A and B are shown apart, each in its own frame.
Chain A
Amino acid sequence: MAECHPVGFQWVMEAKARGATVVHVDPRFTRTSALADLHVPLRAGSDIAFLGGLVNYVLTHEKDFREYVLAYTNAATIVGEEFRDTEDLDGVFSGLDRENRSYDPMTWQYEGAVVQAASGERDQEYEERTEAESTIREAARGEAHGAGGAGVSGEIHTDETLTHPRCVFQILKRHYARYTPEMVEQVCGVPQETFRRVCELVTENSGRERTTAFAYAVGWTQHTVGAQYIRTASILQSLLGNIGRPGGGILALRGHASIQGSTDIPTLFNLLPGYIPMPHAHQNETLDEFVQAEGAEKGYWGNLRSYLVSLMKAWWGPAATEDNDYAFGYLPRLTGSHSTYETVMAQLEGTCHGYFLMGENPAVGSANAKMQRLGMAALDWLVVRDFSLIESATWWKDGPEIETGELRTEDIGTEVFFLPAAAHTEKSGSFTNTQRLLQWHRQAVEPQGDARSDLWFTYHLGRRIRAKLAGSADEMNRPLLDLTWDYPVHGAIAEPDAEAVLAEINGSGPDGRPLSAYTELTDDGSTSCGCWIYCGVYADGVNQADRRKPRTEQDWVAKEWAWAWPANRRILYNRASADPDGRPWSERKAYVWWDGQKWTGHDVPDFEPGKAPDYRPEEGAKGPDALSGTDAFIMQADGKAWLYAPAGLVDGPLPAHYEPHESPFTNPLYSQQSNPVRQVIRHPENRYQPPGSEVFPYVTTTYRLTEHHTAGGMSRWLPYLAELQPEFFCEISPELAAERGLEHLGWATIVTARTAIEARVLVTERLTPLRVGGRTLHQVGLPYHWGPNGLSTGDAANELAPVVLDPNTHIQEVKAMACDIRPGRRPRGPALLEFVREYRRRAGITDETGMEM
C-alpha cells in the first residue's frame, strides 16, 4: 500500500501512531513492510490457505464475535441435504459437471429456499427461477465487483444454537478444520510461530471494542481463484464482526483514477449501470421475466424493475413505453462470456473486425501480450486514443513480432487511427475513487490541437453515425435512432456539457426535476435514471461531486466533501455498527444508532431511517419491507452477511485452496490440483506448463512500483518518473542469485512456456527463500510497467503470462506463475522462438498440457 497507494497509506500511519498494529503479508519486503510491525512473506498463490488458516483458528478457539455472527450473518441457516463439500468429495463440491467444466449450483442452496445471488452470476438458475424454456447453454460467469443484492424465495430454516450438522456454522467448521497452522506452514511457507502471532493479533483486535481492517490491492483478484480470495477474507471479517463498522471492512485498493466508476457505470460486457446484469439470450424474454430471474423478493434488489425501467427511460426516453416493454428488447443479448480475452480470440478468428482502445494499452498490459498484438494484427481497423504513441499504437511498425520475423509490416492489413486524448485538466468530469467517492475535476484549460476528451469523441461519433443512418427504416437501427443523444455543447470545439451527462445519470422525476435518492425511482416510466446507485449525485440540481468544504471545517467523516454512492454513505452496511437493539456495540466504536425514533449517527445510516430495531415484516412482505429491523445487510435477500454463498459464485459456495494453474507444487490439501472450473484457452500461442515441472522451478509474481503507473502509458513518457525508475528489472534473493549465477545489475532471462524476456537483476534481501512443501522455494519479482516505447523502457512482464482466468470474473492469473530464470540477455530475432521451443520440448509441453480439470 505504501508503494502503490502512498497517499492513502498516510491513514495507516495515523492509525499506527494511535496504537494500531500493522501486519504486512506479501511475498516481497516493500516500503509497506518497512513501516509495518510485522512482515509475513508467503508463497504467491497461497492466500486462501493462509486466510483459511485464520478462519480455522477463529472457529477452533471460539474467537468469533458470537452476538454479531448470530444477528447479522447466515451462520445459523440450514443448507440443503444434497450439498456435498470438498471434505466429502476430496476437493470438489457437489454439482460438478466434468464434461462442461462447470458446476450446477442448485445443490448449494439453503434448505427450503432458492436464493438469488448478491452479485456475481445471477443468470445461473434462470430456468428454475422463471420455469421458462431455454435452448442456450449459459456459459457466462460472474462479476467480482458487484454492488450486491440477492433474492430469496421460500422459507429459510435456521438453528440459533449453531449445532445442526447442516447449518452454515458447522459446515464452515468442518470445511476449514484441515487448514491447521502446520498446513499453513507447508502450503504458504509461513512458520507456525509467525502464523500464530498473526492469528492472535487479528483476533485480539476484533470484537466489541476493537475492529480490524483488511486492505488488498487487486493482485488478490489476479488468480484463477481470485474471487474466492476475497470471499475468504469476507468470511473471516464477518466472523469477527468487522463489517459495517468503523475501522473494519475489506478495502479494495484499486489502481486507476476511476476504475471503481468504470465498474459502477460499466464499460464491461456483463453489466448495465448500477450492477444490473446484461440480459442473456432466452426465448422471448420479457422485462418482467428478466426481473423475476435476476431480481430479489426481499431487500433493495426487490426494486430492480424500477432501476431498470428508469435506465431504459434515460436511454430511450419517449421511445421506451409500457407497450414496448420499455424498449427492453433494444438491449443486445449475451450468450456466454464476451470478456476482453474472448474478444482477442474473436479477433484471431476473424469475427471481430474493429477495435477501440481508449486509455488502455493491452499490447503490454494484458496477459500473454503477444496474443493481444496478434489479435490486433488480424483486425480491419483499430482506433487508439491516448496521450502518446503507446505500444498498442505502434506494434505494426516496431512490435516484438516484427523483430522475430513472425509479422512483417507490409503484410499487416490493419488500418490504424491514432487520436490524441485530452488530459484531466482539459475537461470536466467525475472520477469515482476506491472508496466509492465521486469527485469532480473542473476543466482548467482548453485542449490543444486535435486533442479531445472521450466525451467529445463518443458524443460526436454517435452524432455522425446517427446522421449517416438517419431515415433508415431498418429495424436494426431503431435502438440507435431512438436513443436520447442531445447534449448541450460549448466552446469552439463543441465540447459536450459533462454536467448535463451527470444530470442524466442522476435521473429526473415526472416534472423533469433532478431526483435526490434512488428510493424515489418508480417502475411505471415516470422517472428516468442512468445509474440508480448514483441517484442523488445531482440532487437539487447541485453537482454534489463538486462539493469541496475543506476538511478543517467538518468532522472526521467529512460528509460534505464530494459524494459517495449510495446516498452519500461512507461506510456500507453501517447498521451493523450497532447491536441488534440499535445501540453502538461500544462507545469507542459508535457510528450509527437508533435514537428511539430514527437512525442517526456520524454517517448516513444504511437503513430505512424510521425502521425500528424491533420491526418484524408482515407475512408476504416484499422488497425492502421484507427486511426486519436487524437485517443489516440490506442488499442481501436474507439480510445477512454470507459466510456460505448459496449462489452467485460459479466455483463453489466456500473458498478452498487450489494451486495456481502453473505451480511447481502439488496441492497438499486435496487431490484436486487447481480450480476445476478455471477458464482455460486453447491456442498455439497460449501453451501451458505442466504442474510440478522441474523445468520451471521458481514462482514469479508481478506488481507495481510507486514511480510508474499500470502499463506505463501515463508514466514511462515522463522524464521525472523515467529518471526515478529508468528501466525494467527483476528482484531476486542473494540465494537465488548464487544458485543461478545471477549478478547484481547484470542481465537475467526469465522464461515461461509462452516466451522469454530479459531484465536487469536486482539482488536484494527484500525477497527471501521460503520452505514450502519440504523444499526451498525461490520467488522472482517482476514489476509490470514496461514496454519498448517511451523514455523508460524494457520488456513487458505480461509477455510471460498465460491466459487462464478466474471463472467468475474472467481475470487472468498473473500473480502466481512458475518460471525459470538464467543469467544473460535473451536471444534476439528468430533465435528467441527456437529458445522457447526448446524449453517446451524439455518440459514435454503439448496442446493438452494444463487442460486437465
Chain B
Amino acid sequence: MRGWLESWPVYRQFRGEDRSGRGESAMSRRTAELRPRVGTADRVVKSVCPYCAVGCGQDVFVKDEKVVQIEGDPDSPVSRGRLCPKGSASLQLTTGSARRYDVLYRRPYGTEWERLSLDEAMDMIADRVIEARERGWQWEEDGARVRRTMGFASLGGATLDNEENYLIKKLFTALGAIQIENQARI
C-alpha cells in the first residue's frame, strides 16, 4: 500500500521538496531505473576525434567488446570535454549502418559489384602492383638516373595515422613510386 502510494506522483509532490512537480516527483519508475550507457560500460578507452585537426579528446565506452558511446574527454587541455556535432556523431561513424564490412570487386567492363575474399583481393592487388610497377619502370630520364616507376599512384593520408602514412611512404618509395599524395595538397 505504502509502495503504491509512493509511486503516485501527486503524493510525492506534496511529501517531497519538489513542490512544483517538475523534477524527481514526476519521474516514472522506468525513468528512475534508466542508467546511462557510460555507467554500465566495461571500460573506457582514451581516443582522439577523427574529423578535424583541432584534435579533441574522446572517451570511448566499450561494453561486451562493442563501442556503446563516445564522449568528449574532460581531461584534454585542447577540448576540455567538448565535441562539436561531427565529433559527437562519431559513434554513428564507427558503428552506424553505413559502414561496409565486405570486400567488393568490379571486374573490367562489369556492371555490378561482386564479392571477393580479403585474402584473394590482397593477392590480386599485390600482382597488380608488381605488374603496373614494371610497366611504368624508368631507369633514366633525359640521361639522368631516376630509378622509379610511373606505373601506379596513391592518394590519401590526412585522415590516417602517422604510423600508417609512414608505412605507405616507406613501402611505395622502396617500390620506386613517386606519385604519392594526400589531402594536404588540396
Contact = CB atoms under 8 A, between A and B. Distances in A.
Contact of B150 (A352, A380, A485): A352
B155 interface: yes
A425 B169 contact: no
B145 to A, nearest CB: 7
A352 B180 CA distance: 12
A388 B54 CA distance: 24
Contact of B85 (A343, A502, A554, A707): A707
B155 A715 contact: no
Given A353-B132, A445-B66, A502-B163, A266 B169 contact: yes
A719 B135 CA distance: 44
A340 B181 contact: yes
Listed from nearest, the 8 A-B pairs whose CB atoms lie closest are: A449-B101, A429-B161, A433-B55, A332-B148, A267-B157, A354-B152, A360-B156, A358-B156
- Residue from the set B96, B136, B147 with the largest chain A CB neighbour count within 10 Å: B147
Interface string B152-178: 111111111111111111110111111
A273 interface: yes
B183 A259 contact: yes
Interface string A393-416: 100110000000000011111111
B174 A480 contact: yes
Contacts of A340: 155, 179, 181, 185-186
Interface in A680-699: none
Interface stretch (A456-464, A626-634, A758-766): A456-464
A189 interface: no
Contacts of B5: none
B184 A145 contact: yes
Given A346-B150, A444-B60, A461-B171, A256 B159 contact: yes
15 contacts: A254-B53, A259-B53, A267-B169, A315-B173, A351-B151, A355-B152, A388-B98, A420-B102, A431-B55, A439-B57, A445-B67, A454-B168, A458-B168, A554-B77, A709-B86
B118 A450 contact: yes
B28 interface: no
A383 to B, nearest CB: 6
A459 B166 contact: no
Interface string A731-746: 0000000000000000
A7 B185 contact: no
B86 A357 contact: no
Nearest to B184: A263
Contacts of A445: 62, 65-67
Nearest to A717: B98
A807 B101 CA distance: 41
B108 A414 contact: yes
A342 B185 CA distance: 12
Interface string A494-513: 00101001101100000000
B143 interface: yes
Given A283-B143, A719-B92, A264 B162 contact: yes
Contact of B142 (A7, A335, A342, A455): A335
A442 B45 contact: yes
A425 B46 contact: no
Given A335-B142, A468-B127, A387 B100 contact: yes
A561 B77 contact: yes
A425 B47 contact: yes
B163 A257 contact: no
A434 B96 contact: no
B79 interface: yes
Nearest to A501: B163
Contacts of A483: 170-171, 174
Contacts of B66: 445
A423 B101 contact: no
A724 B85 CA distance: 9
Contact of A717 (B82, B96, B107): B96
Contacts of B106: 396-397, 414-416, 418
Given A357-B155, A721-B92, 19 more contacts: A136-B142, A258-B158, A266-B182, A347-B153, A354-B153, A359-B160, A389-B100, A412-B109, A419-B103, A424-B50, A425-B45, A431-B50, A432-B162, A433-B78, A434-B55, A439-B48, A441-B48, A476-B139, A552-B75
Interface in A350-392: 351-360, 362, 365-367, 380-381, 383, 385, 387-389
Which of A340, A411, A412, A440 has the most chain B CB within a 10 Å cutoff?
A: A340
Interface centre among A342, A721, A812 (most CB of B within 10 A): A721
A26 to B, nearest CB: 18
Contact of B122 (A342, A461, A501): A461
B144 A135 contact: yes
A367 B105 CA distance: 27
Which of B52, B130, B151, B162 has the most C-beta atoms of chain A within 10 angstroms of its own C-beta? B162
Nearest to A315: B170
Interface string A1-15: 000111110100000
A550 interface: yes
Contacts of A714: 50-51, 86, 93, 159
B89 interface: yes
B17 to A, nearest CB: 32
Contact of A417 (B57, B105, B145, B183): B105
A356 B53 contact: no
B93 A281 contact: no
A314 B96 CA distance: 39
Given A273-B166, A338-B178, A410 B101 contact: no
Contacts of A10: 80, 82
A845 interface: no
B54 A5 contact: yes
B128 to A, nearest CB: 5
B181 A267 contact: yes
B52 A812 contact: no
Interface string A254-291: 11111111111111110011000010011110000000
A346 B47 CA distance: 39
Given A256-B159, A715-B86, A281 B52 contact: no
Contacts of B170: 315, 483, 530
B82 A7 contact: yes
Given A353-B151, A454-B160, A464-B126, A257 B52 contact: yes
Contacts of A4: 52
A636 interface: no
A268 B180 contact: yes
B89 A718 contact: yes
Contacts of B112: 397
Contacts of B40: none
A253 B53 contact: yes
